[in-house]
Structures are given as C-alpha cells and as structure tokens.
C-alpha cells in the first residue's frame, strides 16, 4: 500500500523550481554586490565579522538544533491533535535564518570594514523572504 505517491513529473517540476529560484537569488545577489560595491562572500562559509559574532551565531544555531529536536518530539506525540506551528522544523528554519542574518547585518553595521556590507545582507534577507512568501502564497507558482 502506497501512502504518498508523486505524479510522474514531480521531480522535474521540483528541479525546475529550484533552478529558477537559484537563478533569481544569484542574479539579485550579483546586482546588489555590484551596486553596493561589496565583495563576494566565500561559498558555503559562515563569514563571521569577528569572534563575538562567531560565538553568538553558534550559540543561536545550537539553541535551534535543540528546539528542532524538542519540537519534533512534542509534535510527534500529538498524533490525534494539531501540531504546534512554532515547533515545526520548517518554521524554526525560517526563524533561524531570519535571526542569524539580522545579527550578521547588525555586526556588519557596527564592525565591518565596508559600510555597505550590512545593506547587502539586509537586501539579501528581504529578497529571500519576499521570494519565499511569493512562492508559498502562489502554491509554488502553480507548479504543484
């Protein structure tokens, strides 16, 4: 018995959606880096501004790992009832990204060598949140 079945074109649609969103983020980031004259950050690195930023960032990440584990356990035990939205993993990941990027912007505003670095971080965050909102509110642009 199959509980969840995907239509035959699901993976193709998902790949197309990921490609379009990645391209949109890449083009937006390239444009903003050029406009604000900000260096391109290293790929897949944390780019901490200083030691205080590193400690704060890792503390928040560890806290959210615990929240996700506890939230997963609590929501798994609520079989017959509605789960708590604020303990859902996807919701906690959105909050984690928002908090860590906001802290990055504050640290860049206070301590970065380039005064436009925090504007780049804020623009990235706002664009990513707007893109996520549009994708979710339009049911993935009607693809799914």
Number of domains observed in the structure of the chain: 1
What is the band of 2 on the pLDDT scale with cuts at 50, 70, 90? Answer: low
42 lies in a domain?
Answer: no
Say if residues 25 and 131 touch (Cβ distance below 8 Å).
yes
**pLDDT (tens digit per residue) in 28-45:** 999 999 999 999 888 777
By residue count, the chain amounts to 144
Dihedral of the alpha carbons of 120, 123, 129, 132, in degrees to the nearest 10: -90
Report CA-CA distances (Å) from 31 to 10, 15, 34, 36: 32, 24, 5, 9
137 lies in a domain?
Answer: yes
21 lies in a domain?
Answer: yes
83 lies in a domain?
Answer: yes
**pLDDT (tens digit per residue) in 18-32:** 999 999 999 999 999
Checking if the pLDDT of 47 tops 80, the result is yes
127 lies in a domain?
Answer: yes
- Strands of the chain (E only): list them: none
- Residues 6 or more apart from 116 whose CB is under 8 A from it? 36, 37, 38
CB atoms within 10 A of CB 45: 7
pLDDT averaged over every residue in the chain: 90
Checking if the pLDDT of 68 tops 90, the result is yes
19 lies in a domain?
Answer: yes
What is the pTM for the complete model shown?
0.85
Where in the sequence is the domain holding 21, given as residue range(s)?
10-37+49-142
- Rounded CA-CA distance 57/121 in Å is 15
Which range (61-70, 74-83, 101-110, 113-122) has the least confidence? 74-83
106 lies in a domain?
Answer: yes
17 lies in a domain?
Answer: yes
% the chain with pLDDT above 90? 67
Instruction: Please compute the mean of the pLDDT values over residues 68-79 and round it to a whole number.
Output: 91
Whole-number pLDDT of residue 60: 97
């Amino acid at each position: 018995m199959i509980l969840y079945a995907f239509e035959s074109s699901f993976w193709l649609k998902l790949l197309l959606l990921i490609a379009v969103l990645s391209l949109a983020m890449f083009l937006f980031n390239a444009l903003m880096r050029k406009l604000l004259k900000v260096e391109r950050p290293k790929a897949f690195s944390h780019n901490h501004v200083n030691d205080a930023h590193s400690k704060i960032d890792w503390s928040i990440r560890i806290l959210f790992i615990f929240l996700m584990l506890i939230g997963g356990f609590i929501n798994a035990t609520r079989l017959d009832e509605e789960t708590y939205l604020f303990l859902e993993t996807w919701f906690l990941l959105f909050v984690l990204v928002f908090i860590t990027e906001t802290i990055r912007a504050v640290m860049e505003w206070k301590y970065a060598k380039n005064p436009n670095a925090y504007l780049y971080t804020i623009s990235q965050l706002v664009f990513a949140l707007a893109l996520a909102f549009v994708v979710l509110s339009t049911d993935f642009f009607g693809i799914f």
